[in-house]
Each structure stands twice: as structure tokens, then as C-alpha cells.
Amino acid sequence: MKEIRIEPVTRLEGHAKIVIFLDDKGNVDDTYFQIVELRGFEEFCKGRPVEELPRILTRLCGVCPWAHHIASAKATDGVFGVEPPPAGKKLREMGYCAHFLESHLEHFYALGPAPDFIVGPKADPKKRNIFGVIEKVGMDIGMTVIKNRAYAVKIEDMLGGKSTHPVYAIPGGVSHPLKEEDRKEIEKMAQELVDFCCFTLDEVVDKIILQNKEYLDLIMSKEIYYHETNYIGLVDDRNRVNFYEGEFRVVDPEGKEIVKFKPEDYLDHIREHVEPWSYLKFPYLKDIGWKGFVEGKDSGIMRAAPLGRLNAADGMATPKAQEAYEKFFEFMGGKPVHNTLTFHWARAIEALYAAERVLELARDPEITDPNVRAIPHPENYRGEGIGGVEAPRGSLIHHYRADENGIVTELNLIVATAFNYAGMHMSINRAAKALIKNGKVDEGILNMVEMAFRAYDPCFSCATHTLPGTMPIRIEIYDHHGELLEVISR
């Protein structure tokens, strides 16, 4: 048996490797997608004042700090029994939508679909990056991408104090109100972001990707990138996508609602399965149960993040995003959509929603209200709180317990990437089986296997920073005696 290993090496949030076992004929026998996390964060948090967690949790990850910041603030609202005033909630949501924009745009243009589809999935890996994208689309568009990403970062910075690790949301609201001059600046940037996100959908998704038959065939391929699963996402009271608040809605592979529940009730509906070969757990629907890595409505596996959210919702809460949502499902032939590579398209639609929502909030007369925080009162103290949000990479739940002095005694996190872990595992398996035949493996084929999980924009292996530069990807090929035949480094 031959073993192929795709191993990104990093040292912070943990690392992941893909191991593909081939049978004697050189076809794929099985695959494993292992995640090795740095454990012990819960222990690190115990014994600390619970109000410090929204600030500490941002250090858990350099890629999703705002998601942890907001989920944590909501959990501490619960611990202190305090409800933020409207302006406090809206400002949290505004900063959070700016974070979605930064995250989604960076993934779209620098890492995910743009390098794979603008440059080409089998193109020279030296060109399959943001430099190759700029070469293809031109410097002007490259500059526009960077400028708009910078707008999103600036909004995060203006609200959060600092963009990467915000010090903004606190129990009961946010730390400071929005000044009128800042509101005006945000409104102006948000308008440009809306235009840019429309451009992304019209010019990149539609004209460059969907109108290329080779790419479209890949996207539509049921053999390589396709799973009929359940989907989960947070929705508002009209079942529209919401990143900040609402109820988690789960739909089956036919789009029928299975359950809708408040984040506070997550333990009644979500359980986590453990496999001996990975540290990260696999969340599943409790009522259906864990049935292994299988798809279909009899499996408890759900997929989350952009495609999961669009499938789980009935629409988007802003007009242009709603238009894009309708076009997406019409083009794909109905709802839900099961094609894994359409995570990218869904991500672009969500970026448009985030931009429209920032603009909407910037024009809301209440947004500059100085009353941005409700002060917690001891008589309302509950000692337990659950914060549920949608992170760019999926549903995210923080659950805290604190003693009578407000000191953390218990902490449970179900992180966004975990909700898609089972989906990613199955996607790699299917892509590997479809693409690797008779022992023939080359860089282009392995990139297409990686595309199966890159669509989910996983963040387990994203370092807060790395030196020297980034995570190398090592591919090791072993023969059936366990002897190393070849090493490919990229």
C-alpha cells in the first residue's frame, strides 16, 4: 500500500495533514484529514475574571478574532444577565460585518477561488496565488481589491481599537459610541464596498468563472465536489441569514427544516463525535445521531459556513444580496445546493450582504446614540452564558460558567471549522477517489484534492503569524513497505 501525505506545517492554532492511502493498484483506499490542535485553552481561561474573556478569546486565533470576540461578549452578556442597548448591538454587528468582509474578500481573491479559477486549478503553482491573479486581471483591479480590503480593516480598526484583536465588545455592549465624523467615513467606505462586492459577483464569479466551461464542469461535478448533507446557519425571525443573532436553523438535504433552536439550547441539539485519530471533534445533530462519515438525511452530519447558511436560510436581509441569492439558486437548479465548490460563490454573496449591512447600519440614526452599554447589576447576575454567532467559517458557540465572584469555572467552545470538519473529511475522500487513479499523482491533481477542503476556508492551520513566511506544504509518498519514495514541497 502506498501512502501520500499532504502536510501543512505550522505551529500556532494547530496543524493539519491529509493522508491518502492507495491500494495495490494505485487507487485510493482511504483518506484521513487529521487536525492536531494546541489543547488546553479552556484550562488557561479557568480562574480568570469572566469579563476578560472577550479580550482573551481574540488571541485564540489570528484569523477569526472578531468572531470569538463577539461570541464571547454575547456569552458574558448572559453571565451578567445584561442586554446591550440597541446602539451597542448595532455597533457590534457593524464591526463584525466589516470582519466578514475582510475575511471573505481575502479568501476569495488571495487564497480560494481566484487563484484556482482565475489562474487555473492545474496552473503552475508559482502562478496560482494573488500575484498570478493580478497578472491575469490587471493592476487596476488588483489595487481595487487591496483598497477595498483595507476599507474593511479600517472599519474594524475604527470600531475595535485595533483590527486584529479588538478591544471593543464588553458585557452589556461596547466600550465607546460612534462619532458622527467616523460614521460618515464608514458610510462612504461601505458604499464603495457594496459596489466592489457587486463587481466581484458580476465580473469575477459570473464572467470569469461561470462562463468558463471547464471551470463550470468542475463546479457542477457530482463525482468530485458534491455531498448531499444537512445544513446549519443562524437566521433572523424571517429565516434570513444573520451573522450576529437569531436562531440556528438546520435543514435536511431536501431543504426541509429539521429543527430551529436558540443558541442557549445548543446542548439539546448538538453533540460532538470523537475519532481517535484527530483532536478536533465532529459536531452532529443529536436527534439523528452519529452514523459515521456518510451523507444523506439519515446522517447527523451538517455542513456550515457560506453554503450552509444560504441553504439553511430562506433569503438575505439586504436587497442586492437577496437578488444574488435568488440568482445563485436559480442558476444551480434549485435549493439546497450541494456542490462544494459553490462555497466560494456563496461567500461572495455573503460579502455583499456584509457590505450592504454595514452601509445600512451606518445610515441608521440610532448608530451614533451615546448609550452603547448597559451596566450589569449584581441582582441580575446569572453565572452562566451562551453566545452563538455565525463566524466566517461557520456556526460558533461559546458557553461559560462563572462562580459568584465572576471567576470562570467552565468553558466550552464549539468552533466554526469543527462544524465543517466532517464535511471536509468526506470532501477530501471523494475528491481523492475521483482524481487519483492507478497511482498517478501530480501537483495539479493534489491541488484539486486540496480544493475540496479549501472551499470551506478552514482556519485550523492558519497561523497568527509564521516565520519564515508561511506554512510549507509537504507531500510525502510512501510505498507499501512504508518506504519514502518521493517528497514534494510547495
CA distance 328 to 487: 41
Taking CB under 8 A as the criterion, the residue among 82, 114, 130, 285 binding another protein is 130
Binding flags for another protein, 138-157, as an x/- string (CB under 8 A): -x--xx--x--xx--x----
Binding window for another protein (CB under 8 A); candidates: 170-178, 243-251, 320-328, 450-458: 450-458
**Beta pairing class for 230-235 and 302-303:** parallel
Does 482 bind another protein (CB under 8 A)? Our answer is no
Q: What is the DSSP string of 209-270?
A: IIT-HHHHHHHH-TTTSB---EEEEEE-TTSBB-SSSSEEEEE-TTS-EEEEE-GGGHHHHE
Binding mask 62-81 for another protein (x = CB under 8 A): xx------------------
Beta strands in 2-154 (DSSP E): 2-8, 14-22, 28-37
Closer residue to another protein in complex, CB, 373/454: 454
Closest separation between CB of residue 139 and another protein, Å? 7
The residue count for binding another protein (CB under 8 A) is 55
SS3 206: helix
Q: Cα-atom radius of gyration of the chain, to the nearest Å? A: 22
Question: What part of residues 243-262 is at the interface with another protein (CB under 8 A)?
Answer: none
Of 60 and 372, which has the nearer Cβ to another protein?
60
Which part of the chain contacts another protein (CB under 8 A), choosing from 161-169, 175-183, 204-212, 338-346? 161-169
Q: How far apart, in whole angstroms, are the C-alpha atoms of residue 441 and residue 482?
A: 18
Scored b (16 or more CB within 10 A) or e, 325-348 reads: beebbeebeebbbbbbbbbbbbbb
Is the CB of 151 or the CB of 290 nearer to another protein? 151
In order, the DSSP letters of 297-333 are TTS--EE-HHHHHHHHSSB-SSHHHHHHHHHHHHHTT
CB atoms within 10 A of CB 289: 12
Residue 220 sits in the site that holds another protein (CB under 8 A)? no
Supply the minimum distance, in Å, between the C-beta of residue 127 and another protein: 8
Of 31, 148, 164, 242, which lies in the binding site for another protein, with binding defined by CB under 8 A? 164
Contact present, 428 and 452 (Cβ < 8 Å): yes
CB of 353 to another protein, least distance (A): 20
Nearer to another protein, 47 or 289 (CB): 47
By CB under 8 A, tell whether 464 contacts another protein: yes
Q: Which of residues 265-324 bind another protein (CB under 8 A)?
A: none
Q: How far apart are the first and last CA of the chain?
A: 24
> Which residues contribute to the site for another protein (CB under 8 A)?
8, 10-12, 38, 40-41, 43-44, 56, 59, 62-63, 106-107, 110-111, 115, 125-131, 134, 139, 142-143, 146, 149-150, 153, 163-165, 453-454, 457-459, 461-473, 490
